[in-house]
Structure 1
Amino acid sequence: MTTYQLARRLAQLEPSATAAMNARAQQLRAEGIKVISFSVGEPDFNTPEPIKAAGIAAIHANHTHYTPAGGTVDLRKAIAVRVTADQGLPYSLAQITTTAGAKEGLYLAFQALCDEGDEAVIPAPYWVSYVEQARLAGATPITPMGSEATGFKVTPEQLRDALSERTKIVVLNSPSNPTGGVYSAAELRALADVLRDTKAIIITDEIYDAISYVEYARWLQVAPEMAERTLIVNGVAKAYAMTGWRVGYVAGPAPIITAIKDIQSHTSTHTASISQYAALAAYTPSEELDQSVREMTAAFLRRRDMILKLLAEIPGVTCATPEGAFYVFPNVSGLLGRQLKHGVCNSSDELNNYLLDHAHIACVSGESFGAPGFIRISYATSEEEIVEGMRRFRASL
Structure 2
Amino acid sequence: MVGYAFMGAAHSQGWRTAGHVFDLPARPVLAAICGRDGTAVRAAADRHGWAAAETDWRALIARDDVQVVDICTPGDSHAEIAVAALEAGKHVLCEKPLANSVAEAEVMARAAEAAAARGQLAMVGFNYRRVPAISYARKLIADGRLGPLRHVRIAYLQDWLADPAAPLTWRLKRERAGSGALGDLGAHIVDLAQFLTGEPLAGVSALTETFVRQRPVVSGTPAGASGTEFGEVTVDDAVVFTGRLASGALAGFEATRMASGRKNALRLEINGERGSLAFDLERLNELSFHDHTEPAVSAGFRRILVTEPEHPYLEAWWPPGHALGYEHTFVHQVRDLVEAIVTGTAPVPSFADGLQVQRVLAAVEESAEKNAAYTPVTSLSVHHA
Q: Which protein shows a greater Rg?
A: 2
Larger helix proportion of the pair: 1
TM over 0.5: no
Tell me the TM-score normalized by structure 2. 0.31
Tell me the TM-score normalized by structure 1. 0.30
Larger strand proportion of the pair: 2
